Amino acid sequence: MQYFSTNHQSPEVDFKQATINGQAPDKGLYFPERIPIVSKELIENISQYSNEEIAYQVMKPYVGDTIPEDELRRIVGETIQFDIPLVKVTDRIYSLELYHGPTLAFKDVGARFMSRCLGYFVKQSESNLGKNKKVTVLVATSGDTGGAVANGFYEVEGVEVVILYPSGKVSSVQEKQLTTLGKNIHALEIDGTFDDCQQMVKQAFTDEQLKQNLFLTSANSINVARWLPQQLYYFLAYKLWADKNNPPVIAVPSGNFGNICAGILAFQSGLPVQHFIAACNANDVVPNYMQTQDYVPKNAVATISNAMDVGNPSNFIRILEIFQHQFTNLAAVFSSCSISEELTKSTLASVYKNHHYLLDPHGAVGFSALDQYLQSHPDQKGIVLETAHPVKFYDAVEPVIGQSVPIPTAIQHQLTLEKNSIKMEAKSESLKSFLLQLSGT
Ligand SMILES: *Cc1c(COP(=O)(O)O)cnc(C)c1O
C-alpha cells in the first residue's frame, strides 16, 4: 500500500515511511492510494472471530509488507489488550467504552500501535533513520495525547520521547500520567500555554542543527500509525452489536476528526453502519460546513470537553478525500452538530440520574447529539463512543452530579508517585539545548 499527500506535491511513500515522516514534506496528510475491502466472510461471521484476528485482518492491507506477519500480529495484539465493552444505557443508546486502556483515554489504541510500529522500524533498519542519531519523538500536549503517548512509548527500545505540556493547565491525573514514568520519557513543564508548547515543537522540527544531530519525529494525531488503528473500535463495536440486520448509528465526540474519519474509512471498506454523527462542542466549524458547504476555520473556544476544543480540525480533509470531495456523497452518511455547554451538563446529569450511567463531558456531547438524531429516526438505534473516563475530567463532572468520582484501581498507584518534570521557559532555545544534550552532543 502506498500513501499520497493530500497536497499532491510530495512523493508517494509506504506505511513505514509515512509513519516515520508523520506529515508529508508538502505539509499535506498521508492518505492510502486505495481503500481496501474487508472480506465478506469476516463481516458476516464477525462474532466468531477473535479481536486480535479482526485487528490483524483490518490493519494488514494498510501496513503492506513493511512489517512481517508475526510482528504485526504481536503489535495488534498488544494494541487492543484491554476491554472495549458495549454497555446498554437506554433502550436505543449503547456506549462503547474506549477508556479501559492504561491512561483511560481512547488515544491509547493509536499511541500503542504507533509506538510499536516505530519501535520495530527503528530496530530493523537503523541505517534508514540515520546512523548514530537517536530517534526522538517530540510532542506537545494539552492533556490526553501526552499521557497516551508517554505510556505507549514507555520502554520502547531506541526511542526517546519528549513531551511538552503547559504548566498548571493539565488536570492532576493527566500530569501524573506524563511525569511519573521516567526512563525514556521526558516531561517538560513549560511556563506558558499549549500554543507556546506547540510553537516550540514546530520550531524544533525546522532547526537545521537539530536535524543533523537527532532523528526527530512527531506522534500527533495526523500520523497514519495513530489514525488507522482507530478503525478497530468500529469493527469491535459491530462484533458486539446484537441486531446485525439494523446496523447502528454511530456518534463520535470529535475534535481533530481523526477518530470519526477512521470510522468512515472502516465503513467504506465494508463495515455496516447506518449513519455517522460528528458530535462537536461549541467549536462548530464542521457543523457550519455541513450547513453552508463553506469551510471557515476559527480560533478554538474553551469548553469542559476540552480535548475537542479545535478550531481547524486537521483530519477533516481526509474525510473529504474519502468522498472524493463530493458533498452529496458525504452528506448521505455523515452529519454533524454542535452541543452547547449547558446541554452537555444537563445531559451528563440526566443520564446519570435516569439511567445510572456516568458519562464524561466528551461522551455527554456525543450522547446528546445521538439522542437528537434518534428522535427524528424512530426505527434506528445507536452507539456513542465514550472517549474518556469521567474521572479524568472530575473537575467538570463532580459539580454536575454533586458527587465525587471514584478513582479506578488501574491508576490509583500512579497518583501516589512523585511528579518528575523539567521546568522550562517557553523559549525555543531552551528546548533546543535540552534536545542537543539528550542526543549527547
Ligand atoms: C482527542 C479526544 C477527542 C477527539 O478525538 P479526535 O480524533 O481528535 O476527533 C475526543 N474525546 C477525548 C476524550 C479525546 O481525548
Predicted confidence at residue 132, as pLDDT, reads 62
In a domain, 176, yes or no: no
| Catalytic annotation present for 107 | yes
- Per-residue pLDDT averaged across 238-260, rounded? 97
What CATH number is attached to the domain comprising 333? 3.40.50.1100
Note whether 348 and 364 are within 8 A (CB).
yes
- Per-residue pLDDT averaged across 163-178, rounded? 90
218 pLDDT above the threshold of 90: no
Predicted confidence at residue 371, as pLDDT, reads 98
In a domain, 68, yes or no: no
User: How far away, in angstroms, is 107 Cα from ligand 1 center?
Assistant: 8
128 pLDDT above the threshold of 90: no
In a domain, 415, yes or no: no
Domain of residue 342 covers 83-106+227-405
Q: How far apart are CA 432 and CA 430, in angstroms?
A: 5
Among 99, 178, 256, the mutation site with the greatest number of ligand 1 atoms within 8 A of its Cβ is: 256
% of the chain with per-residue pLDDT over 90: 80
Predicted confidence at residue 129, as pLDDT, reads 61
16, 60, 107, 176: which one is catalytic? 107
- For atom 8 of ligand 1, which residue has the closest CA? 256
Most distant CA atoms of the chain, gap in Å: 65
How many domains does the chain divide into?
Answer: 1
User: How far away, in angstroms, is 211 Cα from ligand 1 center?
Assistant: 31
Model confidence band, residue 131 (pLDDT cutoffs 50, 70, 90): low
Across the beta sheet with 422-425, what order do the strands follow?
Answer: 214-218, 134-140, 159-166, 185-191, 422-425
In a domain, 292, yes or no: yes
Q: Burial letters for 392-426: b for 16+ Cβ neighbours within 10 Å, e otherwise? A: bbbebbeebbeeebeeeeebeebeeeeeebeebeb
Residue partners of 349: CB distance under 8 A and separation at least 6 = 400, 401
pLDDT in tens, 56-109: 999 999 999 999 999 999 999 999 999 999 999 999 999 999 999 999 989 999
Higher pLDDT, 20 or 251: 251
How far is the CA of 132 from the CAs of 21, 128, 408, 439, in angstroms? 18, 11, 42, 9
237 pLDDT above the threshold of 70: yes
User: How far away, in angstroms, is 300 Cα from ligand 1 center?
Assistant: 14
What is the position in ligand 1's atom list of the atom closest to the CA of 360? 13
What is the position in ligand 1's atom list of the atom closest to the CA of 143? 15
What is the position in ligand 1's atom list of the atom closest to the CA of 253? 10
Least confident of 41-45, 110-114, 302-306, 377-381: 302-306
In a domain, 328, yes or no: yes
134 pLDDT above the threshold of 80: no
Predicted confidence at residue 169, as pLDDT, reads 84
127 pLDDT above the threshold of 70: no
What is the position in ligand 1's atom list of the atom closest to the CA of 258? 7
% of the chain with per-residue pLDDT over 70: 98
Spell out which residues line ligand 1, taking CB within 6 angstroms: 105, 107, 144, 221, 253-259, 307-308, 362, 387-388
Q: Model-level pTM?
A: 0.94
In a domain, 282, yes or no: yes
Predicted confidence at residue 27, as pLDDT, reads 87
- Per-residue pLDDT averaged across 169-193, rounded? 92
In a domain, 178, yes or no: no
Cell numbers that stand for 248 in this block: 447502528
Predicted confidence at residue 409, as pLDDT, reads 85
pLDDT in tens, 264-306: 999 999 999 999 999 999 999 999 999 999 999 998 898 999 8
Least confident of 192-196, 303-307, 330-334: 192-196
Angle at 120 between CA 117 and CA 126, to 5 degrees: 125
**3 state SS for 12-32:** CEEHHHHHHHCCCCCCCCEEE
In a domain, 318, yes or no: yes
Mean pLDDT, all residues of the chain: 94
Least confident of 43-57, 131-145, 197-211: 131-145
User: How far away, in angstroms, is 307 Cα from ligand 1 center?
Assistant: 5
Q: How far apart are CA 214 and CA 282, in angstroms?
A: 40
Predicted confidence at residue 433, as pLDDT, reads 96
Among 97, 104, 106, 220, the mutation site with the greatest number of ligand 1 atoms within 8 A of its Cβ is: 106
Predicted confidence at residue 412, as pLDDT, reads 87
Higher pLDDT, 193 or 129: 193
Predicted confidence at residue 220, as pLDDT, reads 82
